[in-house]
Amino acid sequence: MENRDDLNSILEFLPVVLRSSSLFWPSQVVEALKALSKGPDHSQVHSGQVLFLAISDLRQSLTLSSDDLAFSTADGFSLYFDDLMSRAEANKWFGETLPAMADSLLRLPSMLEAHYKNADSISCVDSRYGLKTGLRLLKSQEAGVVLLSQELISALLACSFFCLFPDSPRGASDLQVINFDRLFASLYDNYNEKQENKIKCIIHYFERICSSIPVGNVSFERKVLAVDQNHNYIPHPKAESWSKSVVSLCLFEVCSSGLIEDHSKEALEVDFANKYFGGGALSRGCVQEEIRFMINPELIAGMLFLPCMADNEAIEVVGAERFSQYTGYASSFRFCGDFLDKKDTDIMGRRKTRIIAIDALVNPGKRQYKHDFIVREINKAFCGFSDPCKSHQYQILLKDDHFSEAELDHDLKSLESNSDNFLEIRPSANIEDEVGIATGNWGCGAFGGDPELKAIIQWLAASQALRPFIVYYTFGLESLQKLDKVTKWITSHRWSVGDLWNMIVEYSSQRSKKETQVGFFNWLLPLLSADDPMILDS
């Protein structure tokens, strides 16, 4: 089989076995799946209780012990499918959806074979040629892309549902649990409606997939800021390069209502992530990241092969389809029906939905005003917001040794004329360049960050990454009432990234030393109002 290295890196995490260079299910598993695929009259699986027994048998055939599953998994399955689900829905689930899932599991080995064969042909991701795209472990500090068909993802997620992924090797590789046992066990252990509604989203996804298999692709990319001079990687900005940056600030639009995932223009939609991609999606979590994983469940597939993020890393997913509508947040989260995702697709068959996972500092408290921590946050955001195709431009922009815009323009122009490929230097009419950032209170809710500080950091990072705009959803947060005014003032005075960076660093230093207690905007306002008395009228 082609791409043997790729397969070897992931094989111990997959339920299928490799025999004489082909992938197989053990024969007992094939028999059991065949029975399931023929429906409840054949398999006798017509309740959550029996379903769990079938799962235990499948696991046993794969030499996985059911002791490794979360304690209340059986009760969770039974509660959901036998008590909470209506009889009509359960008939559809056991009669149609589950058999179709079993059928897709039967085809998993051949889907994987086809996947590795395809991934071997020269692929081109976002105008980067010759990238490997095979399913493999995307280890920390190794930038790379995995491109999966939506069909293969649905089979992998069916493995999660049946709890067929080996549990034991994952922890040692910094990978989260990928089976759905805890999702169901948590429902039973501590019944609450949000958990039931999370499961409803997942069940809805399988119902949709089984009635019509989507034909697109989804890519998962680990983005890494280079620790050394690796030219294919995004350069790692030093603190001095932020303070000297002459890049202009991008457009900043404030929306006090609306949600990132409903943003209509193509943008990098920020996932306020946990360093473990997906956070508590498969356990009890139900805030911004977890909700996104429930309404776009294909994101879950990334949890299979994307270990924990380091400070200089981000994860970008392009093409995940949205299947569900919802209302609420955290304990008020509710599934409220089908969602038809009408986003266009790109030449690789990916929906033009770009989700960027960046993990903010957790409960930073006063630490967040310390210089090293501001640098950590801005470089994390820069890593996420950057476009790896522009690494050369970033390198030039981050060099510390040009002091004027004219000199910078000269360097950029010489890059343009020297390069063989056409390189877009500044945001312009190019379609790619229309991709801005849609974000909000990153690292501020459960993570406890300062929203004013975080908004400015994201603006700086987006600008330095040459993004044309940032759309900021405030979720009506009180402390951001002045955001629009302040960003408009700054924009009208044409501050550079360096100018604003130096302000936020000065403010943070005073805040650290307890020389000021006010928020950044109030700290900045007297300075602004000396110039423009109008700013204080609000």
Ligand X SMILES: *[C@@H]1O[C@H](CO)[C@@H](O)[C@H](O)[C@H]1NC(C)=O
Which residues are designated catalytic?
A: 271, 289-290
Using CA atoms of 260, 262, 267, 271 in order, give the dihedral in degrees to the nearest 10.
40
Q: Which is nearer to ligand X, 113 or 499 (CB)?
A: 113
State how far the Cα of 128 lies from the Cα of 76, in Å rounded to an integer: 45
Q: According to CB under 6 A, which one of 78, 123, 179, 245 is a site residue for ligand X?
A: 123
Nearer CB in complex with ligand X: 151/289: 151
Shortest Cβ distance from residue 180 to ligand X (Å)?
26
Q: 253 - beta bridge partners? A: 471
Give the number of residues written for the chain: 538
Residue closer to ligand X by CB (options 118, 140) is 118
Q: State in angstroms the smallest separation of the CB of 213 from ligand X.
A: 12
End-to-end CA distance of the chain: 67
Rounded to the nearest angstrom, the gap between the alpha carbon of residue 315 and the centroid of all alpha carbons in its chain is 6
Closest C-alpha to 293, from 355, 206, 216, 211: 355
Could you tell me the two tokens for 215? 């034909």
Question: For 86, what's the count of Cα atoms within 13 Å in the CB-facing half-sphere?
Answer: 3
Dist. CA 355–CA 397, nearest whole Å? 25
Q: How far apart are CA 180 and CA 158, in angstroms?
A: 10
To ligand X, the closest distance from the beta carbon of 72 in angstroms equals 39
**CB of residue 220 to ligand X, shortest distance in Å:** 13
Task: Report the site for ligand X in 459-498 (rule: CB under 6 A).
Answer: none
Q: Which is nearer to ligand X, 348 or 505 (CB)?
A: 348
Of the pair 119, 483, the CB lying nearest ligand X is at: 119
CA–CA separation, 534 and 129 (whole Å): 52
**One character per residue 188-217, x = contact with ligand X (rule: CB under 6 A):** ---------------------------xxx
Q: Which residue is nearest to ligand X (CB)?
A: 349
**Closest CA relative to residue 313, chosen from 388, 223, 219:** 223
Long-range contacts of range 37-45, CB-CB < 8 Å, 24 or more positions apart?
37/99, 37/100, 37/102, 37/103, 37/106, 38/99, 39/94, 39/95, 39/99, 40/94, 40/95, 45/94, 45/98
Residues in contact with ligand X, shown as a per-residue x/- string from 76 to 95 under the rule CB under 6 A:
--------------------
Q: Please answer whether residues 430 and 466 qualify as being in contact, where contact means their C-beta atoms are separated by less than 8 angstroms.
A: no
Q: Which is nearer to ligand X, 11 or 114 (CB)?
A: 114
Site string for ligand X, 505-524 (x = CB under 6 A): --------------------
Q: How far is the CB of 347 from ligand X (least distance, A)?
A: 7
Q: Among residues 98, 108, 100, 101, which one has the least CA distance to residue 152?
A: 108
Give yes or no for a contact between 273 and 260, defined as CB atoms under 8 angstroms apart.
no
Helix (H, G, I), strand (E, B) or coil at 253: strand
Nearest distance, CB of residue 150 and ligand X, angstroms? 9
Q: Which is nearer to ligand X, 216 or 364 (CB)?
A: 216
Task: Classify each residue of 423-456 as buried b or exposed e, where b means 16 or more C-beta atoms within 10 Å of its C-beta.
Answer: ebbebeeeeebebbbbbbbbbbbbbebbbbbbbb
Residue 473's alpha-carbon distances to 265, 270, 449, in angstroms, are 14, 11, 16
Minimal distance, residue 330 CB to ligand X, in Å: 36
3-class SS letters over 118-166: HHHCCEEECCEEEECCCCCCCCCCCCEEEEEEHHHHHHHHHHHHCCCCC
Q: Judged by CB under 6 A, which of 90, 259, 348, 415 binds ligand X?
A: 348
Q: Which is nearer to ligand X, 156 or 470 (CB)?
A: 156
User: Nearest approach, Cβ of 127 to ligand X (angstroms)?
Assistant: 14
Q: Is 349 in the site for ligand X (CB under 6 A)?
A: yes
Strand 313-318 with 354-359, pairing: antiparallel
Q: How many CA atoms lie within 13 A of 122 on its CB side?
A: 4
Point out the annotated binding site for substrate.
274, 288, 329
Closer of 217 and 439 to ligand X (Cβ):
217
Under the criterion CB under 6 A, does residue 118 sit at the interface with ligand X?
yes
| 458 forms part of the interface with ligand X (CB under 6 A) | no
Helix (H, G, I), strand (E, B) or coil at 214: coil
In the region spanning residues 223 to 252, those forming contacts with ligand X, defined by CB under 6 A, are none
Least separation in angstroms between residue 211's CB and ligand X is 19
Rounded Cα distance between 451 and 445, Å, is: 9
Which of positions 135-174 make contact with ligand X (CB under 6 A)?
A: 147, 149
Which residues lie closer than 8 Å to 28 by C-beta, 6 or more apart? 61
Q: Which residues bind ligand X (CB under 6 A)?
A: 118, 123, 147, 149, 215-217, 348-349
